Amino acid sequence: MSKSVVSESLPKAIVPVDPKGSKKLKQFKKSIPLFILLFPSLILLICFAYIPMYGIVLAFKDYSPALGIWGSPWVGFKHFIQYFNSYQFGITLKNTLNISLYSILVGFPLPIALAILCNQMRLMLFRKFFQVTIYLPHFISTMVMCGMILIFLSPSNGLVANFLKLFDIHMPNILSNPSMFSSVYVWSDVWQHVGWDSIIYLAALSTIDPTYYEAATMDGASRLQKIIHIELPLLLPTTMILLILRAGGILSVGFEKVLLLQNPLNLAGSEIISTYVYKVGLQSFQYSLSTAIGLFNTVVNLAVLLLVNWISKKLTNISLF
């Protein structure tokens, strides 16, 4: 028998087929344009968010511009202890928590209520007009918003003061009262952003299956019962995710607005961590101390985020990770 016949009669080696690998390769090739679009944003993120993180070491050094970051001597937790022992620690922490918790208690449930209210409107023309009206303040810049607040609340010739004069009521100087600063900040923030914040809840409400409402109507449920038993439970996952994210920024109160509304008279109620960091770092040139305060702020925010995420996972089985 010839060699060719023998070789043909022998079983050929089985080549393994990897359908999953080829499928992943095809998906990757199909996604290459998306990766190319993502690349510039990724470069910007790395350059402006991750590379500057090496500056955190300033919190543990006695920084001198002449010596540079790595040439400056290590001092350990000296700047953290200096901040914790300072008079401003209690004031800034209290004011920051006061404004942040006030914002969450007032500003978090109102967009949910507003979204449910909009969802219950049956006249579409009025509904669209209402939505556009409440969205518009969001596009006012912080600078303009603070200018409007100062004009409205001026005790001499402000809009509110002129209105109260019609009833012979003297308006107090609200912005000079430290105890009133948090209310001015929170309620003006609610007016500006409550409509915009309700968009995500409206989107969640639009995904609810209409058959739920039809079944509830056949069972004789009222509008309030539909809200309680259909809309609120189905909004819970979205609500909890946003609450976790909101809690993660508990010490990150808006810096620009506080600084623009701040004055020597309300400083006891308006000095927060971010404004104190600005004054210590850029005005007093204490770069190491300001970095230590900012790092403390970030660590506390991360700890609160993890805690709230863990509580949410235990109670509602909803979490970020």
Copy the structure tokens of residue 140: 């006012």
In eight-state DSSP terms, residue 12 is P
What confidence score (pLDDT) does residue 20 get? 61
* Average pLDDT estimate for 235-253: 88
Confidence of residue 165 (pLDDT cuts 50, 70, 90): confident
172: enclosing H helix or E strand? none
Distance separating alpha carbons of residues 236 and 228, to the nearest angstrom: 11
What confidence score (pLDDT) does residue 221 get? 87
| β-bridge partners, 64 | 68
| Full-model pTM | 0.83
What confidence score (pLDDT) does residue 79 get? 93
Asked if 262 and 275 touch (Cβ cutoff 8 Å), the reply is yes
What confidence score (pLDDT) does residue 249 get? 85
Asked if 290 and 82 touch (Cβ cutoff 8 Å), the reply is no
> What are the CA-CA distances from residue 22 to residues 17, 18, 165, 237 (Å)?
9, 6, 78, 36
- Of 13-27, 61-75, 174-188, 267-281, minimum mean pLDDT range: 13-27
Q: What is the per-residue pLDDT across 262-296, written as a single tens digit (0 to 9) for each? A: 999 999 999 999 999 999 988 888 999 999 999 99
Cα dihedral 246, 247, 252, 255, rounded to 10, equals: 40
Report whether pLDDT(1) > 80: no
Distance separating alpha carbons of residues 94 and 257, to the nearest angstrom: 18
Q: What is the per-residue pLDDT across 68-109, written as a single tens digit (0 to 9) for each? A: 888 889 999 999 999 999 999 999 999 999 999 999 999 899
* Average pLDDT estimate for 182-199: 92
29-64 in b/e form (b: 16+ CB < 10 A) is eeeeeeeeeeeeeeeeeeeeeeeeeeeeebbbbebe
Asked if 198 and 238 touch (Cβ cutoff 8 Å), the reply is no
Of 55, 64, 67, 48, residue with least CA distance to 292: 55
Asked if 150 and 175 touch (Cβ cutoff 8 Å), the reply is yes
Task: Give the chain's length.
Answer: 321
Rg over alpha carbons for the chain, rounded to the nearest Å, is: 29
CATH architecture, domain 84-316: Orthogonal Bundle (1.10)
Distance spanning both ends of the chain, measured CA to CA: 68
Asked if 91 and 181 touch (Cβ cutoff 8 Å), the reply is no
Residue 170, number of CB atoms within 10 A of its CB: 8
What confidence score (pLDDT) does residue 45 get? 92
Asked if 59 and 79 touch (Cβ cutoff 8 Å), the reply is yes
Give the mean pLDDT of the chain: 87
What confidence score (pLDDT) does residue 18 get? 53
Report whether pLDDT(9) > 80: no
> Would you list the DSSP string of 135-165?
HGGGGS-HHHHHHHHHHHT-TTT-HHHHHHH
* Average pLDDT estimate for 249-268: 88
236: enclosing H helix or E strand? helix 232-247
What confidence score (pLDDT) does residue 53 get? 87
Q: Where are the domains of the chain?
A: 20-57, 84-316
Residue 315, number of CB atoms within 10 A of its CB: 9
> Would you list the DSSP string of 40-84?
HHHHHHIIIIIGGGGGGGGGGB--BTTTHHHHSPB-TTHHHHHHH
The residue whose two tokens read 């609200």 is: 174
What confidence score (pLDDT) does residue 160 get? 86
| Greatest alpha-carbon span in the chain | 123
What confidence score (pLDDT) does residue 90 get? 92
Of 164, 142, 140, 141, residue with least CA distance to 152: 164
Query: What residues contact residue 225 under an 8 Å CB cut-off, 6+ apart?
Result: 216
What confidence score (pLDDT) does residue 7 get? 47
Report whether pLDDT(14) > 80: no
Report whether pLDDT(3) > 70: no
What confidence score (pLDDT) does residue 16 get? 54
